[in-house]
A and B are shown apart, each in its own frame.
Chain A
Amino acid sequence: MMLLLWLVAIWLAGFGFIRWMFPQPLRWSLHNVFLFSLGIGAGAGIASCLYFLTLVLSGATFSLLPAAGGVALVIALTLFLFARKGALLDWAEGPAVPRYLTALFVLAAALALIMFLGAVAYNPHGEEGAWSIWNMKARFLLRAGTFWRDAFSSDLGFTRPDYPLLLPGLVALCWKLAGQESTNAPVAIAFLFLLATTGVLVSALGVLRGKILALLAGTLLLGTASFVALSAALYGDVPLSFYILATLALLCLQDRHPEDMRFTGLAGLMAGFAAWTRNEGIIFVLAVLVARAIALIRFGEGKLLARQFLRLLLGLAAPLGVVIFFKLRIGGLGDWMAVPGSTILRHLSEPARWIVLLEGLVVILFNFGRFLIPIFLALGLYWYLVRLRVDTRDRTALATAGIALALTLAVQLVMDILYVDNLGVEIGTAFERILLQLWPGALLVFFLASAPLQLIAPKPLEKGSKEKRAHKGARRVVETR
């Protein structure tokens, strides 16, 4: 129980920080759903970074940690009550939402919840990758005391010592604060990230495109069985997908509210936490910086480049600093640095490796997400029947998100070609996970570019009403022309 209370405290601290940036009255609103969802990731990232810094600075003998946690919570709650002015995020105007769409979304959420609970009840320690990498490190951080650096010993090469510590740090912190080591911590964290990812996707699309597309995207995300299964496996991929989505969603909102640069600052912070979650997050940080620069220059907003990059880098600075310190002083840069140039050249020049990669791409295209019908066919049908229509306000955001996701994927595939020895195994085991990391962001891009949907016939105009007269007038004008 204490463990869950501490997790809620971390979440509230994150929410307090985010609400301080984007304050609005506390009530049930889309604005607060968005902030609550972001608060989970912000709280987790900040808590994990602070825990790691405490370990580095004072060793494991930090009896002050609960007190420091309490102080952080008080500060967050103070920020929570602090009144400032900020942009209001509300549903975008659009046609009426049919009840069946809401019901389908609720049904998808219920199925995802049952699936998650069923999977973690059967396997509370998660899949092998979860306990042998993430929870193993959490155990070392908690149990090893002053020898916590043993977690990064060369004897434990299979635990990937170079992997960043957002997840293990957060799990170990919860265990430390609660005074008990329970599987409830990683399970609750995984569930919160699943909830937060859905929350950010639905609320961001709700603000940008309206309720219909938001609920449809949410239904599709929660109906992606392998995404929910990946969350229940307690891997770091779903938290990473959350930070990628949050970064892209905040940059999209930035383009809708160009005067409020806090969106870009927070996007930088979320991208930094992505780098603190998994190594793929570091690739994403570089990709998003390149993508933002390309998009701003391409759509004639180059004058915003310096201003936005300053905010982006300000947000990035703290978590990226922690990642760089960790990589240089503790975890190391990873196995790929040790691969000789001759091996890289050999990998690059082997046609068989490219064929294996292409074959893997084709197979995954059909199997992705464990949908009964390949999802690319379903989305193709959607595109054919609904088409795309990009609002001029969203061009830069859409280009940023699209390029960032494509670059992240491309760089990861090239890294696989260059560095991985057993490419077949890597593609068989990790390829779908890489795509699932990008899946919520891809859904954001797809539905942001979609033409608006009309699911309920508009009510016929009443005889003699103002609208009817206006409509007749408009028709006369068209006919005259």
Chain B
Amino acid sequence: MPACTFPWACSVKLIGLARHQFVVITLAAIALVSSFWFLLDVLGTANHSRQTFGVAAFENRFNDLPKTVRPHTVYGYLSDTPANDPSGLAEFHLTQYVLAPAIIRPSTHETLVIVNYHSKDLDMKLLSANHLRPYRNIGTGVALCLGDKP
């Protein structure tokens, strides 16, 4: 039997088979039941909700655009999402992810600007307010516009 480093740790009064069995089964049961509970959550989410916002949905929206995307090119970005809407930032990140290796800047002062809109039609007032001219409408809530940078 190895020597004990810490004497206080060895002053065990209640060591017994049943105690060891109890604590092992308790620990394993907590882990397994928690795991099963979480699994039900995961399966429930997967079954009852369809992803409308995410990489796959965005890749479908931008399906036609990446063919024209070249490395090292820079695009501007404009969205009709309100400034205080947290989904706006996530959509910007998604746009960057989908269009990599092009670089997307959150600005309209670029030669080409990607407009990400959620209304049925492209809002011409939004474009004129930002000095943009329509160049190509992809038709899935994404349009390519000419910016004010020559």
Contacts and interface: CB of A to CB of B under 8 A. Distances in A.
Partners in one complex: yes
A121 interface: yes
Nearest to B38: A225
B4 A371 contact: no
B117 interface: no
Nearest to B92: A158
B129 interface: no
Contacts of A158: 93
A392 B12 contact: no
Contacts, number: 173
A150 B69 CA distance: 14
Given A122-B45, A147-B71, A229-B38, A386 B93 contact: no
B103 A454 contact: no
A131 B35 contact: no
Contacts of B72: 144, 147, 150
Q: How large is the interface on A (under 10, 10 to 19, 20 to 34, 35 or more residues)?
A: 35 or more
Interface in A61-116: 100-101, 104, 107-108, 111-112, 114-115
Interface in B35-62: 35-39, 42-43, 45-46, 51, 54-56
B83 interface: no
A132 B93 CA distance: 7
A387 B20 contact: no
Interface string A375-388: 10011011001111
B81 interface: no
A219 B30 CA distance: 10
Given A375-B30, A451-B12, A150 B39 contact: no
Nearest to A370: B38
A139 B94 CA distance: 13
A128 B93 contact: yes
A453 B20 contact: yes
Q: How large is the interface on B (under 10, 10 to 19, 20 to 34, 35 or more residues)?
A: 35 or more
Contacts of A381: 23, 26
A108 B32 contact: yes
A104 B27 CA distance: 11
Contacts of A224: 31, 35
A145 interface: yes
A148 B31 CA distance: 44
B19 to A, nearest CB: 5
A177 to B, nearest CB: 19
Contacts of A151: 101
Interface in B69-100: 71-72, 74, 90, 93, 96-97, 100
A390 B4 contact: yes
A151 B3 CA distance: 56
Nearest to B59: A125
B20 A386 contact: yes
B97 A455 contact: no
A369 interface: yes
Contacts of A119: 42, 46
B79 to A, nearest CB: 15
A349 interface: no
Interface in A418-436: none
B101 A139 contact: yes
A135 B97 contact: yes
A228 B39 CA distance: 10
Given A122-B45, A455-B20, A371 B30 contact: yes
B20 A223 contact: no
Given A118-B46, A128-B93, 11 more contacts: A124-B56, A131-B97, A136-B96, A147-B71, A150-B103, A158-B93, A219-B27, A225-B38, A387-B9, A395-B5, A455-B24
* Top-6 shortest CB links A-B: A223-B31, A225-B38, A144-B101, A125-B55, A391-B2, A122-B46
